[in-house]
Every structure is written in structure tokens, then in C-alpha cells.
Chain A
Amino acid sequence: DAGVIQSPRHEVTEMGQEVTLRCKPISGHDYLFWYRQTMMRGLELLIYFNNNVPIDDSGMPEDRFSAKMPNASFSTLKIQPSEPRDSAVYFCASSSQASGANVLTFGAGSRLTVL
């Protein structure tokens, strides 16, 4: 397996533009997580899905953020409109609960810069 695949790796955009980040989890994993990492706030959980259903989106900063998981192999995180304070590295991670533990496999991240 190629691991968790995220795209784009880097995105530079201007304030007010729409940003879409993409994630392909590991095949067979039934949980998918979106995290955001900044120097100030560290790694923050935004939202997670179980079997494509959003379970907890309490970490989503505001209505400008939305996430979808239309099928088991694809998820998107959308920011519309983007603001400079959204600049961060966004990580997608997936896991399988088959072992009873929530061990995450992370993607390489998408570095977002909003000017």
C-alpha cells in the first residue's frame, strides 16, 4: 500500500479564494481524520469520519470549513473563503479499529499559505 496520499503538497492562494485539499486513506481503514498543525497551536483535530460518516466535527474552526467523504477511498477538506489565519499544514490520517486501538497513519500533509 502507498500509504495515505494527500494533494496538493503545497498550495499558495490569495485571501478569499476557495481551497480544496484531498486525501486518499489506506485501503481497508474505516476511520479518517483531518488535523491542522501550526507552531502556535500544534496538531489540532478538525473532524473525523467512521465508515464515511462524520462523527465529530467540533474541531472545525467555523462555517468556512467543510469536509466530505463520498466514499471509502476519498475525502476532501474545503475552505471557502480562505483567510491568512488558515495558513497551516493540514494532515489527513487513517486508521483501522480492528486491533482495538486507534493507531494513525498520517499522510505527508498539505502546506497551505494564504496571502
Chain B
Amino acid sequence: SQKIEQNSEALNIQEGKTATLTCNYTNYSPAYLQWYRQDPGRGPVFLLLIRENEKEKRKERLKVTFDTTLKQSLFHITASQPADSATYLCALDRRALTFGSGTRLQVQP
């Protein structure tokens, strides 16, 4: 069956450090992969999209990599801030978006 795995344990890091979140998938051949941010009590908000023929995408302090051989995406937040604390979801798409369970990031001041 198709699976998207994100680390269910919360990631705690110190302000200013780089946060790295992982998304692994099996039995998928996604056309592209997306990352969303979700704050408590709110809907997910789109952050970045990377296509299957792209290796890396950047947006301000965010960087996403996509390795279709390893079936893995890494999501990096550089110079992290307490305001970056949230749950981050990866999502894969062929016909409709399927989401991972998300990883909660806590940035300590």
C-alpha cells in the first residue's frame, strides 16, 4: 500500500539553528511534492512545491530537496525562529494530494 512517513516525534531545536524535517514515501511515483505548515486550530498553509525533475527548491529561509531514487524529501529551515514553531506536513500528488501525518517543530528561544 502507499505510505508517506514523517517523524511523529516532535523536533526541538534552539533558535538560530537549522531545522531538518524528513518525508519518506513508498509505492508512489509523485509528479511533485509539497510542504505545508499547520498552526494549532488552523488549516494547513502551502509553503513550497518541488517537481519530480527538480533536486532542490529555495524560498527565503526554506529549502526543500527531492530524491526520487531514495523516495525522500528533506525540508530545511535555516536560522530558525520561535515563530517557525508549527507542524509541517508533506504531501504527494498524482490525482489528489495525500498528506503525511506531520512533524511538530518547536524552536526554543
Q: Which A residues have a C-beta under 8 Å from some C-beta of B?
A: 4, 33, 35, 42-43, 45, 48, 55-56, 91, 93, 101-109
Contact = CB atoms under 8 A, between A and B. Distances in A.
Closest 7 CB pairs of A and B: A106-B43, A42-B101, A43-B99, A102-B93, A103-B46, A106-B44, A48-B96
Given A43-B89, A56-B95, A101-B49, A109 B100 contact: no
Contact of A107 (B43, B51, B96, B100): B43
A55 B95 CA distance: 10
16 contacts: A4-B43, A42-B100, A43-B89, A45-B96, A56-B95, A91-B43, A101-B51, A102-B93, A102-B97, A103-B46, A104-B44, A105-B46, A106-B45, A109-B41, A109-B42, A109-B43
A45 B44 CA distance: 14
Given A42-B100, A45-B96, A102-B97, 4 more contacts: A101-B32, A102-B93, A102-B96, A107-B43
A103 B34 contact: yes
Contact of A33 (B96, B100, B101): B96
A93 to B, nearest CB: 7
Interface size grouping (class) on chain B: 20 to 34
Interface of B: 32, 34, 36, 41-46, 49, 51, 89, 93, 95-102
A23 B14 CA distance: 39
Most buried by A among B34, B42, B44, B100: B44
A42 B99 contact: yes
Given A43-B89, A109-B43, A104 B97 contact: yes
A92 B43 CA distance: 9
A57 to B, nearest CB: 11
Nearest to B32: A101
Contact of B102 (A42, A91, A104, A106): A42
Contacts of A104: 36, 44, 46, 97
Contacts of B32: 101
A43 B44 contact: yes
